[in-house]
Amino acid sequence: MNDTPLESVLIVDDHPLFRKGLAQLLQTVPAFRLVGEATCGVEGIEMARSLQPDLVLLDLNMRDMSGLEVLRQLRQMRPEPRVVMITVSDQGEDVVAALRGGVDGYLLKDMEPEAMAAALADVAAGRVVIPPELNLLLAAALRSEARPQSVDAAGLTEQEQRILDRIAAGLSNKMIGRELDIAEGTVKVHVKHILRKLNLRSRVEAAVWAVEHLRG
């Protein structure tokens, strides 16, 4: 018998049909429990404050306010929910802005239901999710900016390199801590140091940097 607590999920999207479809899709992921559906950004923020979900599935483009503004407010909440953007936009600037805002994943609405369900299952497992084609966009954006081009240039310690390698594999802080036998809080401190040394603002950017520079 599995006694792992279910992860509570809030959907924030102003398209009724998509909300309904996503709610049905969530039923196929055993780890998730849908606790609310918000029809706009303002309602989403209010529901996130009252329900304190573990995960928010957030639309980027809503009529009342940008999903990026909702994301900024969610990032100030305690406890802070994980956030996955689900949107029609695959524009490079949108992807980069969302990832730098601290999203834990970025999925496209035109994904096949099976692929979306698989990606959501990865989210439930604590992984960061982003389609491969969006990784390429992000990598191109990172290359156009000044930052260290090697581990030595960045001054990463061996432990930071081990953690960065696991970030690149999509592992959450909790999973990294378990693998390296260190506290989750210690992992968080290391991640902050890694981002500062690499001049990056999100773990997804760090993962893209690592794939290009750590595993070469």
Is 70 exceeded by the pLDDT of residue 7? Answer: yes
Structure tokens at 192: 């902050």
Task: List the beta strands (DSSP E) in 96-201.
Answer: 105-108
Same domain, 23 and 82: yes
Helices then strands, each counted (H, E), the chain: 11, 5
Claim to verify: residue 56 and residue 141 sit in the same structural domain: yes
Percent of the chain with pLDDT over 70: 88
pLDDT band at 38 (very low <50, low <70, confident <90, very high): very high
123 and 197 housed in the same domain: no
182 compared with 26, residue with greater pLDDT: 182
Query: Which residues in 57-89 are b (16+ Cβ under 10 Å) and which e?
Result: bbbbebeeeebbebbeebeeeeeebbbbbbbeb
Token pair listed for 23: 């709610």
> Tell me, what's the pLDDT at 111?
84
- Pick the residue with more confidence: 129 or 160? 160
118 found inside a domain: yes
Give me the pLDDT at residue 42, please. 92
pLDDT tens digits for range 151-173: 888 888 999 999 999 988 878 88
Whether the per-residue pLDDT at 2 is higher than 50: the answer is no
Quote the pLDDT of residue 64: 83
Residue 91 shares a structural domain with residue 177: no
Mean pLDDT on 43-64: 90
The CATH number assigned to the domain holding 82 equals 3.40.50.2300
Most distant CA pair in the chain, distance: 51
Tell me if 206 is assigned to some domain.
Answer: yes
**126 inside domain:** yes
Q: Which has more pLDDT, 91 or 130?
A: 130
Residue ending a domain, among 88, 113, 145, is 145
pLDDT band of residue 1 (cuts 50, 70, 90) is very low
User: How many domains does one find in the chain?
Assistant: 2
- pLDDT band with cut points at 50, 70 and 90 for residue 37: very high
Domain encompassing residue 191: 148-215
Buried/exposed code over 156-187 (b: 16+ C-beta within 10 A; e: otherwise):
beeebebbbbbbbebbbbebbbeebebeeeeb
Per-residue pLDDT tens digits for 61-80: 888 888 888 888 888 888 88
Same domain, 58 and 104: yes
Q: What is the pLDDT of residue 180?
A: 94
- Check whether residue 85 and residue 36 sit in a common domain: yes
pLDDT per residue over 184-205, tens digit each?
A: 889 989 998 998 888 887 777 7
- In the block, which residue shows the tokens 């960061």? 128
